Amino acid sequence: MNLNQFLSSDEDRAWIKEPHINVYVRKTFHYISKNKYPFLDLANVGVKEKFRGKGIFKAFLKQFENEAKKSNRGVYVESIQEIRLEEFLKKNGYKYVLGTPEAFPSMYKLFT
């Protein structure tokens, strides 16, 4: 299933398989500062080793954010284990989810 198929389906979670990347995503709701918001979650990301550092995830995230905006959802990135990703997300407007572990933080971005 690709991202567009997932977004147009009734499924609330799926593995998205795009060239060189597999991503586990969900349609969810999260509470941020006591307010409930709809999100598209990125729960697991795998870029094929020989394609890492070539902008594959960056391009996927841009498409993911655009689709989130169109569907009036934010983007929620769960349990970040890669410091480079954490720094990239901070530079691109993502905020930390309070109460998530410092070692594996979750981050979010709202578009409203």
**pLDDT(6) > 90:** yes
CA distance 61 to 69: 12
Containing structural domain, residue 36: 3-109
90: left (phi over 0), alpha (psi -120 to 50) or beta: alpha
Rounded to two decimals, what is the model's pTM?
Answer: 0.93
- Asked whether the predicted pLDDT for residue 84 surpasses 80, the reply is yes
Angular region, 33: left φ>0, alpha ψ -120 to 50, beta rest:
left
Number of domains in the chain: 1
Over the stretch 48-65, which tens digit does the pLDDT of each residue have? 999 999 999 999 999 999
C-alpha separations of 60 from 36, 42, 64, 95 in Å: 26, 11, 6, 19
Q: Please state, rounded to an integer, the average pLDDT across all residues of the chain.
A: 94
According to DSSP, the residues that pair with 27 across neighbouring strands are 40
